[in-house]
Amino acid sequence: MSDSLVLSIKNLDFSYNNKKMIYKDFSLNLKKGELVCIVGESGKGKSTLFELICNNLKPQKGTIEVKKVSSIFQDPYSSFHPSFKILEQIKDVVDKKNLDDEITKLCSELTLDKKLLEKKPHELSGGQLQRCSILRSLLMKPELLLVDEATSALDNIIALEVMKLLIKYLDNCAILLITHDISLAKWCADKIIDLNRLYDEK
């Protein structure tokens, strides 16, 4: 894979249990600085694509090459262990150098009270915990950020601020964003992949 690419999917075929093909000869390249949105009705294969990229599923055909990846999911409670403080779970996965300064800066950009990081996940609201999940992902300094409907639990103003922050972060990585919100996709994406259309062509 060339230096500028962070994701290279070539001629991918995938089906669960050799039933209906979800992906047939699907290819996608993503470079640092690009934001690509995946749209499509429920069941079209959006989450499956993320599972394939994270190597949790194996394609029947084709290749997937990916650089350092981090994911932000719709349900933040599934991203954190319930028994440990959020800060401990952040420190487990990120480089400790300048961590405190970076946390302070990002918390302010995410309008997240830093004191909340001392709490356990269930003590936070869904929206607060989602911002913790975004914070952790950005601190990991991924080259590819997979974002699955991550702003849908946030109120509109915070969701917009979070999207702006993610877009700012594009200087350092590429973003693949799953969304049902076509107007959001049109607003922020360099390219939109519509899985409804992909399906029609099969």
Ligand X SMILES: Nc1ncnc2c1ncn2[C@@H]1O[C@H](COP(=O)(O)OP(=O)(O)OP(=O)(O)O)[C@@H](O)[C@H]1O
Q: Is the Cβ of residue 5 or residue 49 nearer to ligand X in the bound state?
A: 49
Q: Which is nearer to ligand X, 71 or 89 (CB)?
A: 71
CA distances from 126 to 122, 131, 180, 188, 202 (A): 9, 9, 19, 24, 38
Residues 24-83 that bind ligand X (CB under 6 A): 40, 42-48
At residue 131, what are phi and psi to the nearest 5 degrees?
Answer: -70, -30
Alpha carbon distance, N-terminus to C-terminus of the chain:
28
Q: Which 3 state secondary structure label does DSSP give 88?
A: helix
Q: Tokens 């360099």, residue?
A: 190
* Number of residues in contact with ligand X under rule CB under 6 A: 10
Q: How far is the CB of 139 from ligand X (least distance, A)?
A: 26
Q: What does the alpha-carbon distance between residue 150 and residue 160 come to, in Å, rounded to a whole number?
A: 11
Is residue 196 close enough to count as binding ligand X by CB under 6 A? no
Q: What Rg, from alpha-carbon coordinates, does the chain have?
A: 17
Minimum CB–partner distance for residue 140 and ligand X (Å): 23
Tell me whether residue 52 or residue 166 sits nearer to ligand X (CB atom).
52
- Please report how close the Cβ of residue 22 comes to ligand X at its closest, in angstroms: 5
Which residue among 4, 16, 122, 172 contacts ligand X (CB under 6 A)? 16
Which CB atom, from 57 or from 99, has the smaller least distance to ligand X?
57
Kindly list the residues in this chain that would bind ligand X in the complex (CB under 6 A). Answer: 16, 22, 40, 42-48
